[in-house]
Structure 1
Amino acid sequence: MPGEGRLYVTFLTSAGKLQCLLHEEEAPRTVDNFVGLARGLKTWTDPASKEPVKRPFYDGLSFHRVVPNVLIQTGDPTNSGVGHPGFTIDDEFGAGLEHDSAGVMAMAQSRPNGSGSQFYITDSPTPQFDGRYPIFGHCEDLDVIHKIAAAALTEGTVDRPLDPIRIESLSFERR
């Protein structure tokens, strides 16, 4: 995104507003992928129609996965846990970026170089994820993260929220 200053994303969710600093210098390709999907500048495959589309990706999605005291996850257009944008990006591990606190924003993936659109935000330090999941941001507003992570889970599951929190919209700014 053009302009001066550090790049921030603001998520307006049904649980409140969440602001995150994006690590453009340390993870430029990952941030570019996220921003392109979020703003509707990048083509992705609609899972229902199987057609390529170019519209904001994250608006209306839910935090489909919640692991209490560990992480909250979103970015799945099917809300099944296996949805994707129809492509993957290579892993990008920025120097000095670690899962050392709550609020770390990183790409979710089931295999190396398998990231696309799903990402998580940590609810506590998760050093076991270092070197496995590419970090591309850090979120403030930990109370919103904690609120989402404390959601009641669907009976018989360990990570499916009963009433998922939704992303209403995203906006970007430099400061």
Structure 2
Amino acid sequence: MGGEKSEEVWMEIQVGDFEEYERALEEFERGKKFLLEYGESIGLEKSADRLLDAQIEMFEELYSTYAINMAPARCVKPKELVRFRLEICLMKDKCPKAVENFISLCKGDKSRKGTGNQSVKLHYKGTMFHRVEEALIQGGDITRGDGSGGESIFGGKFNDEKSALKVKHDEAGIVGMANSGKNSNTSQFYITFKALPQLDGKHVVIGKVQQHSMDHLIRMLLNLNSEKVKARISDCGTL
């Protein structure tokens, strides 16, 4: 893909068991509140951050004694979910409209009218990758999050750009627009984990993961190792 006029964007992709992580965070907040109210009176610190190892071991027993009817709690903050930063080089010369759409969705600088007087930001940030396979990862459904939706900044779908249809899926890291058929591009996109020649000519290829980010792409694939482990775009923007 050398020689083309390009633009660059970045995505921070968070990987993990989100349900378990959110549950653990709720338990930690509950534990902090318990310590703040009762910690000193039962021989512990008021702050979870100041607990000694021995006090951490005591916490569970004391909590079960003094908080009989309360939901589970913990005094150790759960480990942060792993994040991978991908930098993507976009081929503006081959598909200016698709690249304009992708960049804007990374920046979140466009909105559409929602219900009432509310506006809805068109943004990849916070969206899930609804399709995770050994061959590719697909996301960008900014309307429904499950692969059944999507919206472009142009209002609906936009046409394929012929030059970008000619780009081969001949390696890992290819970034293309997912579609439901000819001329049906919205916001959904995919990133390949290997060569996928069966996609050639069927999808607008908009760019490629930069070489220095390929290690992150491979590590991300290795972390997507169970049905409970999901991936989402925690942040994104332009370089």
Structures share a fold, TM > 0.5? Answer: yes
Check the 8 A contact 2:137/2:191 in 1, yes or no.
Answer: yes
Matched to 1:82, the amino acid is S
For 1:82, what is the secondary structure of its paired residue? coil
Does 2:160 match 1:94? no
CA deviation digits over 1:29-83, x for unaligned, max 9? Answer: 100111122222334466xx59884525100012211111x11111013221112
For 1:146, what is the secondary structure of its paired residue? helix
Does 2:140 match 1:75? yes
Where structure 1 has 5 or more consecutive residues not aligned to the other structure, the ranges are: 155-161
Does 2:221 match 1:152? no
- Aligned with residue 65 of structure 1, among 131, 154, 163: 131
Q: Which runs of 4+ in 1 moved over 4 A?
A: 49-52
- Relative contact order higher in (CA < 8 Å, ≥ 6 apart): 1
Distance between the aligned counterparts of 1:148 and 1:109, measured in 2?
24
Distance between the aligned counterparts of 1:153 and 1:50, measured in 2?
41
Q: Could you tell me the TM-score, scaled by structure 1's length?
A: 0.80
- Look up the match of 1:16: 84
Q: How does 1:98-109 map to 2 (within 5 A)?
A: 98-109=168-179
- Aligned with residue 235 of structure 2, among 157, 165, 169: 169
Distance between the aligned counterparts of 2:84 and 2:116, measured in 1?
32
For 1:55, what is the secondary structure of its paired residue? strand
Deviates more, 1:22-31 or 1:164-173: 164-173
Taking a change above 3 Å as real, the CA distance of residues 97 and 163 of structure 1, as seen in their structure-2 partners, is same
Distance between the aligned counterparts of 2:186 and 2:140, measured in 1?
9
Check the 8 A contact 1:39/1:55 in 2, yes or no.
Answer: no
Taking a change above 3 Å as real, the CA distance of residues 152 and 53 of structure 1, as seen in their structure-2 partners, is farther
Distance between the aligned counterparts of 1:122 and 1:144, measured in 2?
13
Taking a change above 3 Å as real, the CA distance of residues 127 and 45 of structure 1, as seen in their structure-2 partners, is farther
Q: Quick check: which one's helix share is greater? A: 2
- Look up the match of 2:51: none
CA deviation digits over 1:120-140, x for unaligned, max 9? Answer: 001001111111010001003
For 1:9, what is the secondary structure of its paired residue? strand
Deviates more, 1:59-68 or 1:144-153: 144-153
For 1:76, what is the secondary structure of its paired residue? coil
- Sequence identity of aligned pairs in percent? 31
CA deviation digits over 1:95-141, x for unaligned, max 9? Answer: 65211110000000111111100000010011111110100010032
Q: Could you tell me the TM-score, scaled by structure 2's length?
A: 0.60
Q: Which of the pair has more CA radius of gyration?
A: 2
Matched to 1:124, the amino acid is K
Deviates more, 1:82-91 or 1:98-107: 82-91
Matched to 2:214, the amino acid is L
Does 2:198 match 1:133? no
